[in-house]
Structure 1
Amino acid sequence: MAPAAANVSRFAILFEKEEIEKNDYNLSVSTYVEKEDTGEVIDIKVLNQEIAETVRKIDVLRASINEIVKEMDDGE
């Protein structure tokens, strides 16, 4: 009998020989243990608001640059 072992989610799981046999004796960890999802959860509404604010700031800066260029052209 195998010694007692603890299953640790996404880290270690004790499988019986029959389960390994069912998987053609494939001992690849990814066959038995699911990889932890490290993806970041993004709130699309907040992201969209941030993009809209950035675009607004760009528009204000572009208008300021256009005004400066116009003043420089008028000064020639």
Structure 2
Amino acid sequence: MPPTTREAQRAELHKAIWRVANDLRGSVDGWDFKSYVLGMLFYRFISENLTAYLNRQERAAGNEAFDYAKLQDAEAEHGRRETVKEKGLGPDPGSWTR
């Protein structure tokens, strides 16, 4: 029978996440596993940050229905170079602080 309270559901979810993490980790060294997970979290942060940035820009320009996450790959490539320059994610490490 599934848990009924919110706290019980959260506890069950945490247990399931730990089971999956342990299965994925297997015999991998703990540090290697942490590096992988931190890299994935960083990638997610950058992706969500970029999506929010582009959505704000488009909505400020009057395109209220714009949603970067729903674009096809070819559409998402449009303006990529300019966005990389604006956002400061280009090859110049000094520009990463913007």
TM above 0.5: no
Q: TM-score, with normalisation over the residues of structure 2?
A: 0.35
Instruction: Give the structure with the larger helix fraction.
Output: 2
Between 1 and 2, higher relative CO (CA 8 Å, sep ≥ 6) is seen in 1
Q: TM-score, with normalisation over the residues of structure 1?
A: 0.45
Q: Which has the larger radius of gyration?
A: 1
